[in-house]
Structure 1
C-alpha cells in the first residue's frame, strides 16, 4: 500500500463526501477517486478493499470532527451552569451543522456497521471513547450533573441532530432549535440540582 498521508486524507475526505451524497451503496473506489480529485485507480492503491475503505473512513470521521483545541478551550472557558451547558450543546450543534457532510457520512457508516463487524468495532470503540471523554470533561469542568446526565444529553442531542440535519420539517412548530437545545439541557439537568 502507498504511504502518502496527505493523499490518504484526501481520499478519506472523498469517501466521507461520497457517503453523505450517495450513501454506502455509492461508495466505490472510482467515486472516491472522483470526489478526491485524484487519478482513477488511486484509491485501490491505498485501501485493500471496500471494507478497508469503510473502516478507515469510520476512523477518519473524528479527524474531521475534532475541533481546534483552542476553539474547544474557549467554548469551555468559565462554563459552570446549566445555561453554560446549553451553550456548549448549541456550539456542538453548530459544529455538526457546519460539518453536515461528515455527520451524514457518520449516519451512513452507522447503518453499514450493522452489517460489517470490523466497521462496527471501529465505530463502537471511537464513539464510546468520545462519550467517555465527554463524561470526563464534564466532570472535570465542574458542570452540573454527573455521568447519567451526560449520557442522557448525548442521547437527546443525537436525536435532535439527526432530525435537524436530515428531516428538519419534523421539528416545524416545535420552536427554534436553539430553544429546544436549552429546554432539553435544563430538563435533563433539573434532576441534578439545577
Structure 2
C-alpha cells in the first residue's frame, strides 16, 4: 500500500530546513539545486512545492511572520502594562537574537538581489510591514501608525546594531526605555486631546 504523504506538513518540514541553507550562503548565492541537495530531495520535488527560489523564500518569510506575531501576541494576551509587554518582547528578541540577525542579513540580501534583477515587489513587502504594524497596535493598545513605525524602526535598529557587532547594547534596557517613551507620548497625546490641541511637542 503506498505511503500517504501529508503535503502541507511535508512543505512545512522543507521550509523549516531551508532557513539554515539560506543563512549559510545568502539569498543571492544559493541555487535551487543546492537547496535540494541540502534538503536531500530531488530538484523536481523541490520545484513541485516551490515554483521558484523567490517563491520559496517568500513562503519562508511568511512562516516567520506568522510565528513572530503569534508567539509575541499570545504572550501579551491579558497584559495591559507596556512595561510588562516590553519585557516579554525583550526576552523574545534575546532568545532569538542569532536567528533575527540572520534574518536581517537575508532580507537585505534579498532586497539587493531583487533590485539587481529589477523585480522589486513593493506591495508585497508593504503588506508584510502592515501585518507587523497590527501586532504593534496590540502592543501599545492604540492604532497609531507613528508609534508603530517608531517601534518597528527601533527593533530593526537593535538587531542591526547586534549584526554590526555592538556587544555592549543592552536589548532589554532598550525595550524598557521604548515602553517609557511610548507611555510618555500617549500620555501627552491624551492631554492634548483633552484640551483640544492636536499638536504634540516635547520639551
Matched ranges for 1:1-194 at <5 A: 4-48=7-51, 52-67=52-67, 71-72=71-72, 74-94=74-94, 96-97=96-97, 99-100=99-100, 101-102=102-103, 104-115=105-116, 116-117=118-119, 119-131=121-133, 133-138=134-139, 142=141, 146-164=144-162, 166-167=163-164, 169-172=165-168, 174=169, 176-193=170-187
TM-score, normalization: structure 2? 0.68
SS of aligned partner of 1:117: coil
Instruction: Return closer, same or farther for 1:125/1:113 CA change in 2, 3 Å cut-off.
Output: farther
CA distance in 2, matches of 1:98, 1:66: 19
Asked whether the 8 Å contact 2:69–2:132 carries over to 1, the reply is no
CA distances 1:102-137 after superposition (whole Å, capped 9, x unpaired):
554334333334345365443332222322x22442
Asked whether the 8 Å contact 2:79–2:85 carries over to 1, the reply is yes
Report the RMSD for the aligned CA atoms in angstroms.
3.3
Identify the range of structure 1 (184-193 vs 61-70) with the bigger mean alpha-carbon deviation: 61-70
Q: How many residues align?
A: 181
Asked whether the 8 Å contact 1:65–1:99 carries over to 2, the reply is no
Extract unaligned runs of 5+ from structure 1.
none
CA distance in 2, matches of 1:110, 1:95: 26
CA distances 1:115-173 after superposition (whole Å, capped 9, x unpaired):
45365443332222322x2244235xx46x84322221111111112222x22x3253x
Instruction: Return closer, same or farther for 1:153/1:64 CA change in 2, 3 Å cut-off.
Output: closer
**Shift, 1:19, TM fit:** 2.2
